[in-house]
Chains A and B, each alone.
Chain A
Amino acid sequence: MLDSEKLILRIEELSISYQSSGSGFWGNNKEIVAVNEVSLSVGRGETFAIVGESGSGKTSIAMSILGFVKPAAGTIEFNDLNLFSLDSKQLRETRRLIQPVFQDANSALNPRMTVETILGDGIAISDENEKREKTISLLKSVGLSPDFLKKYPHQLSGGQKQRLCIARALAPEPELIILDEPVSAQDLSIQAHILRLLSEIKKTKNITYLLISHDLNVVRILADRVAVMRSGIIVEESSCEKFFSDPTHPYSQELLENSGLIQRA
């Protein structure tokens, strides 16, 4: 297992459940367990992938790390800090170190803000000139030209929007980026560009990725370790190499077969 000093994220026995308003006159509320006592650890600098079909609970885990979903039980430690015991000021500071990249770049960008404002909001510099320089260097780091500064999101293409989202995630100089299906909404050719960009960023900056995906092609390109989720439980956790060459759990084998990445004899 991983050395505890090198851990950036430790999740222990995390359970998340949702209330669904039941049918019937009295609306008997049913509790749906999305995540059931999941434990996992992510080492600093690695790319940890959680794979599984939709509804397996992988996005719920991501949302609770980001603080948007309150778990029913369990703890999440980031840099040895329990995220649920921080006061609101500490939480806001810690949050800046954990940044999301969402699947749908359209709904992830404020339609009423220019590229410059969108990125500027993430930069903690008050000097206008320095801020602008940082904004331009952020744009360059994701392969966008400074000409985009005054544009609005609807003037960008899908791939450019996702690049902008990645640039925004990089703005507060985070330690952990949560990639929630980062390329699923893109064309195949753009997927390749974005994935290459993500690998490059990883190489140049000391960043940890938590990748949430159902696409095993993406996982194979980016991930170092893989956890397979099904119905709120992790059924298999192994290194990427081992997962793609010798999956142990029958569900992992099924996933691999369906993805067309390996042919079963």
Chain B
Amino acid sequence: MNNFKKLISKLWKSTSGRIGLILVALFLLLALGAPLLSPYDPVKQNLILRSSPPSFSHLFGTDLFGRDILSRLIYGARVSIGIGLGSAFLAVILGSAVGLAAGFLRGRTDTVLMRIVDLLLGFPKFFILLLVVGLGSPSIWLTASVLGALSWMEIARVVRGEVILIREMNYVKAATALGLSPMNIALRYVLPNVSGSIIVSATLLIGTMILIEASLSYLGFGVQPPDASWGTIMNQGRIDPLGTWWISVSAGLAIILSLIGFNLLGDSLRDVLDPRTENAQS
């Protein structure tokens, strides 16, 4: 807990770290406190107020069915950020396991695992996503799992590279000389020392995941009604982009701000956690 406080105070020192922290905290707060924070019921239709532009009572206007867009965006944060976090978490687990195994064991295991990574990276990610989600019945869980399962390769590469550096350190040699098992050394001596890079790539990946999910939902293949992600909301503005501009613009704003938040946070985390920078966390 003490380490966590230290990390936050270090992030707070840089402007980009501060903006990243504030944005990410804001979106997490919106997602968690949606029922308390949203001014209206996000699914309640009001046909009298159909497609009304932003006003004091409806800050971001209403959609084609008269639903309050601000409320829909706040509830949408649950879906969009939830899918972003969930899929990034899955990618981190898979990527770390593969990267650790490849970098620590080297030899044939390394070659086989990394060729699989190359192969998967060669696949058009979006096409497979559309295929799988389109063939199955689209749901939040399916979207998150498929996104995670298709995005762990970059993390595997980063982790492998770090592991190869760490396993040459003298403390790993000393542990080997003490007769510790390879599994013990990999999990207790190597993995904790690459956790910094894992956290950084995971944070950056969350932003990417949110964006891909939004594209998917915009095309109608992602989250299905009555659930709504930011991509689904944006999709509604597509029917009359000039007449109901506020629908797409406000959904777009939510996506952009969350992306900026996660990317700035990831970049600042890299600065703080990188052992090569001067006041790195040890």
Question: Does B associate with A?
Answer: yes
Which of chain A's residues have a CB closer than 8 A to the CB of B277?
A: none
How far does the alpha carbon of A175 sit from the alpha carbon of B175 in the complex, in Å? 17
Contact B169 A154 (CB under 8 A): no
How far does the alpha carbon of A263 sit from the alpha carbon of B103 in the complex, in Å? 52
- Take A110-B189, A152-B282 as given contacts and tell me if A172 and B170 are in contact as well, using a CB distance cutoff of 8 Å: no
Which of chain A's residues have a CB closer than 8 A to the CB of B177?
A: 66, 95-96, 98-100
**Is the C-beta of B179 less than 8 angstroms from some C-beta in chain A?**
yes
Contact B193 A110 (CB under 8 A): yes
Which of chain B's residues have a CB closer than 8 A to the CB of A92?
A: 179
Which residue in A93, A100, A111, A122 is a CB contact (below 8 Å) of B282? A111
**Cβ distance A14 to chain B, nearest Cβ, rounded Å:** 19
B 168-209 binary contact with A (CB < 8 Å = 1; else 0): 011101111111100000001100110000000000000000
How far does the alpha carbon of A92 sit from the alpha carbon of B31 in the complex, in Å? 52
Which of chain B's residues have a CB closer than 8 A to the CB of A67?
A: 176
Q: Which residue of A lies closest to B169 (CB)?
A: A107
Which of chain B's residues have a CB closer than 8 A to the CB of A200?
A: none
User: In the complex, which residues 107-163 of chain A have their Cβ closer than 8 Å to any Cβ of chain B?
Assistant: 107-113, 121-122, 152-154
Which residue in A93, A104, A154, A169 is a CB contact (below 8 Å) of B179? A93
A 82-93 binary contact with B (CB < 8 Å = 1; else 0): 000000000011
A 165-189 binary contact with B (CB < 8 Å = 1; else 0): 1001101100000000000000000
- Take A107-B171, A108-B171, A110-B171 as given contacts and tell me if A96 and B192 are in contact as well, using a CB distance cutoff of 8 Å: no
User: In the complex, which residues 12-43 of chain A have their Cβ closer than 8 Å to any Cβ of chain B?
Assistant: none
How far does the alpha carbon of A208 sit from the alpha carbon of B179 in the complex, in Å? 19
How far does the alpha carbon of A68 sit from the alpha carbon of B176 in the complex, in Å? 9
Contact B173 A100 (CB under 8 A): yes
Interface size on B, residues (CB 8 A): 16
Contact A95 B170 (CB under 8 A): no
Tell me which of B169, B174, B188 has the highest count of chain A C-beta atoms within 10 A of its own C-beta: B174
Which of chain B's residues have a CB closer than 8 A to the CB of A113?
A: 188
**Cβ distance A117 to chain B, nearest Cβ, rounded Å:** 8
**Is the C-beta of A102 less than 8 angstroms from some C-beta in chain B?**
yes
Interface residues of A (CB under 8 A from B): 66-68, 92-93, 95-96, 98-100, 102, 104, 107-113, 121-122, 152-154, 165, 168-169, 171-172
Sample 28 A-B pairs with CB under 8 A, ordered by A number: A66-B177, A95-B176, A95-B177, A95-B179, A96-B177, A96-B179, A100-B170, A100-B174, A100-B177, A102-B173, A102-B174, A104-B170, A107-B171, A108-B169, A108-B170, A109-B171, A110-B171, A110-B188, A110-B189, A110-B192, A110-B193, A113-B188, A121-B178, A122-B178, A152-B282, A154-B282, A168-B178, A169-B174
Apart from the given pairs A66-B173, A109-B171, 12 other A-B contacts in the complex at a CB distance below 8 Å: A96-B177, A99-B177, A100-B174, A100-B177, A107-B170, A108-B169, A110-B193, A121-B178, A169-B174, A171-B178, A172-B178, A172-B179
